[in-house]
Amino acid sequence: MIAPSRPFPRRAAAFAARSRCPAALVRSLAAAALAVSTTGCLVVSPPVYEHPEQTAPVLTAVSPLPHRPIHVTPEDKSNYRSKDFVATVLSEDSGDPVRIALYVDYGSRTSEDYPYPYRRFAELPSFPAGAIADGQRVITATLNFGLVAFPNDGATPVRECHTVTMVATHALNANKCNCPDNPDDMGLLTWQIIDCDPSEPTCPKSCPPLDCETIPCLFCDDPSLEDRCANR
The rounded distance, in Å, linking the Cα atoms of 24 and 178 is 83
DSSP character string of 60-123: EEEES-TTS-EE--HHHHHTT-EEEEEEEEE---TTPPEEEEEEESTTB-SSTT---SSSEEEE
pLDDT at 89: 97
- Reported in sequence order, the residue ranges of 120-170 that DSSP labels E, i.e. its strands, are 120-127, 137-144, 161-169
Whether 220 contacts 179, CB under 8 Å: yes
pLDDT at 231: 65
Count CB atoms within 10 A of the CB of residue 103. Answer: 23
Distances (CA, A) of 145 to 13, 30, 75, 112, 151: 109, 85, 10, 28, 12
* pLDDT level of residue 15 (50, 70, 90 thresholds): very low
- 195-222: per-residue pLDDT in tens? 999 999 999 999 988 888 887 889 999 9
Run of H or E including 191 = strand 187-194
Run of H or E including 32 = helix 9-39
Count CB atoms within 10 A of the CB of residue 211. Answer: 11
* pLDDT level of residue 68 (50, 70, 90 thresholds): very high
Taking the alpha carbons at both ends of the chain, their separation in whole angstroms is: 132
Whether 137 contacts 221, CB under 8 Å: no
Distance of CA 202 to the CA centre of its chain: 42
- 79-126: per-residue pLDDT in tens? 999 999 999 999 999 999 999 999 999 998 766 777 899 988 988 889
Closest CA to 105 of 220, 210, 175: 210
Collapsing DSSP states into helix, strand and coil, what is residue 226?
helix
| Residues linked to residue 84 through DSSP beta bridges, in sequence order | 142
* pLDDT level of residue 34 (50, 70, 90 thresholds): very low
Lowest mean pLDDT: which of 29-33, 70-74, 176-180? 29-33
The bridge status of strand 137-144 relative to strand 70-71 is: unpaired
- For the domain bounded by 58-197+211-229, which CATH number is listed? 2.60.40
What are phi and psi for residue 125, nearest 5 degrees? Answer: -55, 145
Residues 6+ apart with CB under 8 A from 24: none
Residue ranges per domain, the chain? 58-197+211-229
